[in-house]
Amino acid sequence: MVSAALTAARAAQHAQLIRQIHTAKRDLGLDDDTYRLTLARFAAGKTSSKDCSAAELHAVIEHFHDSGWPRAGGAHQKPLSPRQKKMWALWQTLADQGKVRNRRMAGLLGWIAGQTDNQVQRLEWLTPAQEHTLIESLKQWEAR
C-alpha cells in the first residue's frame, strides 16, 4: 500500500515537472528544435521530457531559470520600477496594436538586448539613461 502511494506521488511530481518545462518552453518562446536540444544537453541525450528522470527535469528547469524564466512566486525578483512599468505598458500597447508578436517579458527583454550596446538581459541591469532611451524608442514606435 505504501509503495503504491509513493509511486503515485512520484508520478504526480513527474507530471508537474513536465508541465513546468512545457510552460517554460512557451514563456521563453523556444522552438521545438531548441527545446529538444536543451533537453538533450541537460538530460543525458534524451529529447522527450517523458523519458527524463525527476533529477534531469529539475536540471532543465534550473537551466530555464538561469535563462531568465522566473521562479514560482517571483520571490527573487524585485518589483518593477516606475520606468520599467512604463516600458512594460508600452510593450503591451504595441502588442495590442499588432506591432509586437511576443507580448511576454521574454519578448521585451529580447528587444532590449538588441537595442542596448551591452546587450542587457535583465531590466534591473539597465542604467537610468538606457531606460529613458528605451522608453522614448517605444513611444516613437507606438506613434508610427
Highest mean pLDDT among 72-76, 118-122, 130-134: 130-134
Distance, CA of 61 to CA of 73 (rounded, Å): 15
Percentage of the chain beyond pLDDT 90 is: 18
* pLDDT for residue 75: 45
Band of residue 13 on the pLDDT scale cut at 50, 70, 90: confident
Closest by Cα among 13, 57, 60 to 34: 60
* pLDDT for residue 124: 82
Cell reading at 141: 514606435
Check: CB of residue 34 under 8 Å from CB of residue 79: no
* pLDDT for residue 28: 77
Phi, psi of 123 (to 5 degrees): -60, -40
* pLDDT for residue 76: 47
Q: Where are the domains of the chain?
A: 2-72, 82-143
pLDDT greater than 80 at residue 6? no
CA angle, residues 43, 47, 51, in degrees to nearest 5 = 70
Beta-carbon contacts of 65 under 8 Å, excluding residues fewer than 6 positions away, are 71
For residue range 43-80, what is the model confidence (pLDDT) as tens digits?
Answer: 889 888 888 888 898 888 888 877 777 776 554 456 77
36 residue type, one letter: R
User: What size, in residues, is the chain?
Assistant: 144
Tell me the average pLDDT across 75-88. Answer: 76
CA distance from start to end of the chain? 66
